[in-house]
């Protein structure tokens, strides 16, 4: 039997408590657009390695739906049993499986082409140790991808700090890793060809917060995603973008 750390147990209880709110985000059109966009930007460079994919911290499992044209098999794991129950109810389909599991102890039966984590790494007690374990689940040449909040933009860091104080559903003990720290974690875990790509300049608030007035917010979210799609392709964005963006996509290959 595994013993979870206090922090991991607090995180699991929090995600059980907010499971309905988390699942609802992808059912609101403005949020859905931005969350689907965030996922496609995370996978932008990895499309050749997605026949079998593992999502760690899959939440209510919407990635299984958003990525359905890209994989043969999708496995989602999460340590919140209520989120896995929601995922199984909403997204059961051929080739799709969900399992209640903690990444610190999870042992898959087969290897995967690629694995990904959206907003999960900073919740883990030992990011490098877990990345090292995850690397063993992925076949040679496959990708490990993470989309993480980052502290490069002081205004965004301030907004997040405010949210930690005012929003009970936002875990206050979470950290934001810098792009340099994320790259170092991937390197320490044994991954190669590491890339760091700033992600989300205008669209992220739509992905994160369930907004009222969906009829007004949905077209604005669409415009925000379109703008980000342009910005995320601009020359030099990997350098200057990290001072402005909400998130960072880190990508590494398994040797």
CB atoms within 10 A of CB 102: 17
Smallest distance, ligand SAM to C-beta of residue 235, A: 29
Nearest-Å Rg of the Cα atoms of the chain is 17
Cβ proximity to ligand SAM: between 39 and 224 the closer is 39
Smallest distance, ligand SAM to C-beta of residue 41, A: 13
Smallest distance, ligand SAM to C-beta of residue 1, A: 16
Cβ proximity to ligand SAM: between 11 and 232 the closer is 11
Cβ proximity to ligand SAM: between 104 and 244 the closer is 104
Question: What residues line the site for ligand SAM (CB under 6 A)?
Answer: 8, 11, 15, 22, 57-59, 77-80, 83, 102-104, 118-120, 123-124
Q: Which residues contact 25 (CB under 8 A, 6 or more apart)?
A: 31, 32, 35, 207, 210
Smallest distance, ligand SAM to C-beta of residue 174, A: 8
C-alpha torsion sign, points 200, 205, 210, 211: negative
Cβ proximity to ligand SAM: between 121 and 193 the closer is 121
Smallest distance, ligand SAM to C-beta of residue 241, A: 21
| DSSP E strands, 120-220 | 138-149, 192-199
Closest C-alpha among 104, 129, 120 to residue 177: 120
Cβ proximity to ligand SAM: between 13 and 234 the closer is 13
Q: Indicate the residue whose CB is closest to ligand SAM.
A: 57
Task: Say how far apart CA 245 and CA 11 lie, in whole Å.
Answer: 25
3-state secondary structure of 37: helix
Q: Both tokens of residue 9?
A: 């147990």
């Amino acid at each position: 039997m595994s013993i979870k750390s206090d922090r991991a147990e607090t995180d699991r209880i929090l995600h059980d408590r907010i499971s309905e709110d988390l699942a609802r985000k992808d059912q609101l059109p403005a949020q859905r657009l931005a969350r689907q966009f965030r996922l496609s930007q995370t996978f932008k460079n990895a499309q050749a390695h997605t026949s079998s994919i593992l999502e760690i911290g899959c939440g209510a499992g919407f990635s299984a739906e958003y990525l359905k044209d890209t994989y043969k098999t999708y496995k989602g794991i999460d340590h919140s049993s209520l989120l896995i129950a929601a995922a199984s109810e909403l997204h059961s389909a051929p080739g799709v499986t969900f399992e209640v599991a903690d990444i610190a102890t999870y042992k898959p039966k087969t290897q995967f082409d690629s694995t990904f984590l959206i907003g999960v790494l900073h919740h883990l007690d030992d990011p490098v140790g877990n990345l090292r374990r995850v690397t063993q689940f992925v076949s040679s040449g496959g990708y490990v991808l993470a989309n993480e909040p980052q502290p490069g933009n002081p205004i965004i860091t301030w907004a997040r700090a405010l949210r930690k104080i005012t929003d009970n559903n936002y875990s206050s003990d979470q950290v934001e890793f810098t792009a340099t720290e994320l790259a170092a974690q991937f390197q320490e875990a044994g991954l190669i060809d590491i890339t760091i790509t700033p992600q989300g300049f205008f669209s992220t608030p739509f992905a994160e917060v369930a907004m009222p007035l969906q009829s007004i917010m949905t077209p604005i979210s669409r415009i925000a995603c379109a703008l980000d799609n342009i910005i995320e392709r601009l020359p030099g964005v990997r350098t200057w973008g990290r001072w402005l963006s909400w998130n960072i996509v880190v990508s590494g290959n398994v040797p």
